[in-house]
């Protein structure tokens, strides 16, 4: 029988997840059906319960439901606890709901695939919202030399740094605390969406540095355009999207899909 999965969001119409998981299923020969479901903003738990009652085995969760998904789980992975957010739901044989978060693993896998060194790197992360909280534990697990979190609202960056201090060398502050050079700068703010750029010093990048935007689109973000003009190698978040999907697929099916052809097809379609 075909196992059923879905992605929940609101809105969800433009989600690439159904196409990604269909490609993974075809590549691996796994018999799954994967659809997109727009859950009501005020009743995510009801939408998941209904899907599970109809035989759903698991789901991805995207904006704005990752915190609601976190709250409804019977059991959580360590990285989901750290993220305080769940992007992957798994219904086990006993009917219990387990929650995980594969966003950070997807980012780290994408960096590895693109040969961006993390171990011993000087890393700057811009932003301190849910997207950044979701990736800090896997980034720190790769043992960078140091990781500085800078945010428009300095307090939020300091709180994040304190929350993750037991996992590695992490500091936080406002944008004025950013002093380069860095080997890797990751933009996790939503500023790019509005075409805005955080104030950054011109000497931000070390020679050979990489700039990574967790956002993606047909055109480079404002942050990546700035980074390119300042000499960095530029990568967008499409590989992270496919990477987190591959990690979720592995959690559900125990099979690791090859992201490269799926990513290439998505890139062509942007
Ligand atoms: P997400 O889930 O995408 O992380 P969020 O939790 O609302 O969304 O966080 C948005 C992040 O983008 C925050 O770090 C926010 O900075 P503040 O904490 O100061 O609000 C950042 N951000 C949004 N617009 C920005 C802008 N124009 N300039 C700088 N940072 C911005």
Q: Does one domain contain both 32 and 55?
A: yes
Tens-place pLDDT, residues 118-133: 999 999 999 999 999 9
The residues that are catalytic are: 66
Domain of residue 120, CATH code: 3.40.50.720
Q: Does one domain contain both 44 and 91?
A: yes
Mean predicted confidence (pLDDT) in 130-158: 97
Domain range for residue 114?
104-236
198 pLDDT tier (thresholds 50, 70, 90): confident
| Sequence-separated (6 or more) residues with CB below 8 Å from residue 270 | 216, 217, 218, 238
Q: Is the CB of 194 under 6 A from ligand 1?
A: yes
193 pLDDT tier (thresholds 50, 70, 90): confident
Which SS3 state, helix, strand or coil, does residue 126 take?
strand
Complex ipTM, two decimals?
0.97
Q: Does one domain contain both 124 and 230?
A: yes
Report residue 254: phi and psi, to 5°: 70, 15
Q: Does one domain contain both 83 and 59?
A: yes
167 pLDDT tier (thresholds 50, 70, 90): very high
77 pLDDT tier (thresholds 50, 70, 90): very high
Mean predicted confidence (pLDDT) in 49-54: 97
Least confident of 7-11, 98-102, 187-191: 187-191
- Short-list 196, 221, 185, 194, CA closest to 111: 185
| Mean pLDDT score of the chain | 96
Tally of residues, the chain: 270
Q: Does one domain contain both 264 and 219?
A: no
Q: Does one domain contain both 75 and 110?
A: no
Mean predicted confidence (pLDDT) in 158-186: 97
Rounded Cα gap, residues 39 and 66, in angstroms: 12
Q: Does one domain contain both 54 and 72?
A: yes
**Tokens 């950044």 correspond to what residue?**
132
Rounded Cα gap, residues 236 and 243, in angstroms: 12
Q: Is the CB of 127 under 6 A from ligand 1?
A: yes
- Count structural domains, the chain: 2
Q: Is 190 annotated as a binding residue?
A: no
Tens-place pLDDT, residues 222-266: 999 999 999 999 999 999 999 999 999 999 999 999 999 999 999
**What is the per-residue pLDDT for 21?**
98
191 pLDDT tier (thresholds 50, 70, 90): confident
Q: Does one domain contain both 227 and 251?
A: no
Distance 151 CA to ligand 1 centre (A): 8
**What is the per-residue pLDDT for 22?**
98
Closest ligand 1 atom to residue 66 Cα is 2
| Sequence-separated (6 or more) residues with CB below 8 Å from residue 56 | 4, 5, 6, 91
Q: Does one domain contain both 154 and 86?
A: no
Q: Does one domain contain both 68 and 135?
A: no
Report yes or no: 11 and 64 within 8 Å, Cβ to Cβ.
no
Whether the per-residue pLDDT at 208 is higher than 90: the answer is yes
With b for 16 or more beta-carbon neighbours within 10 A and e for fewer, the 97-131 pattern comes to bbbbbbbbbbbbbbbeeeebebeebbbbbbbbebb
Rounded Cα gap, residues 7 and 115, in angstroms: 30
Q: How far is CA 193 from CA 157, 169, 188, 197, 244, in A?
A: 20, 30, 11, 10, 21
**What is the per-residue pLDDT for 159?**
98
**What is the per-residue pLDDT for 230?**
97
Residue 179 burial class via C-beta count within 10 angstroms: exposed 0-12, middle 13-18, buried 19 and up: exposed
Tens-place pLDDT, residues 84-115: 999 999 999 999 999 999 999 999 999 999 99
Domain of residue 82, CATH code: 3.40.50.10860
Q: How far is CA 206 from CA 64, 134, 192, in A?
A: 36, 26, 22
Distance 192 CA to ligand 1 centre (A): 10
Q: Does one domain contain both 109 and 223?
A: yes
Query: Which tokens sit at 67?
Result: 């915190």
Q: Is the CB of 174 under 6 A from ligand 1?
A: no
Q: Does one domain contain both 221 and 149?
A: yes
Which SS3 state, helix, strand or coil, does residue 57 take?
strand
């Amino acid at each position: 029988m075909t196992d059923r999965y879905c992605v929940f969001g609101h809105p969800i119409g433009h989600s690439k997840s159904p196409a990604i998981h269909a490609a993974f299923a075809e590549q691996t020969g796994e018999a799954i059906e994967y659809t997109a479901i727009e859950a009501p903003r005020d009743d995510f738990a009801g939408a998941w319960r209904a899907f599970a009652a109809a035989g759903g085995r698991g789901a991805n969760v995207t904006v704005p439901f990752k915190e609601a998904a976190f709250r409804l789980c019977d059991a959580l992975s360590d990285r989901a606890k750290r993220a305080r957010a769940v992007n992957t739901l798994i219904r086990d044989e006993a009917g219990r709901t387990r929650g995980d978060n594969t966003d950070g693993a997807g980012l780290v896998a994408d960096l590895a695939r693109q040969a961006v060194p993390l171990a011993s790197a000087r890393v700057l992360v811009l932003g301190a919202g849910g997207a950044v909280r979701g990736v800090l534990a896997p980034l720190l697990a790769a043992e960078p030399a140091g990781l500085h979190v800078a945010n428009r609202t300095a307090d939020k960056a300091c709180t994040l740094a304190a929350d993750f201090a037991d996992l590695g060398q992490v500091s936080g502050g406002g944008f004025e605390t950013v002093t380069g050079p860095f080997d890797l700068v990751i933009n996790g703010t939503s500023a790019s969406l509005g075409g805005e750029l955080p104030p950054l010093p011109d000497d931000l990048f070390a020679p050979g540095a990489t700039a990574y935007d967790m956002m993606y689109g047909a055109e480079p973000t404002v942050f990546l355009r700035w980074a390119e003009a300042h000499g960095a190698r530029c990568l967008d978040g499409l590989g992270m999207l496919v990477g987190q999907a591959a990690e979720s697929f592995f959690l559900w099916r125990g099979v690791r899909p090859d992201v490269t052809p799926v990513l290439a097809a998505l890139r062509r379609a942007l």
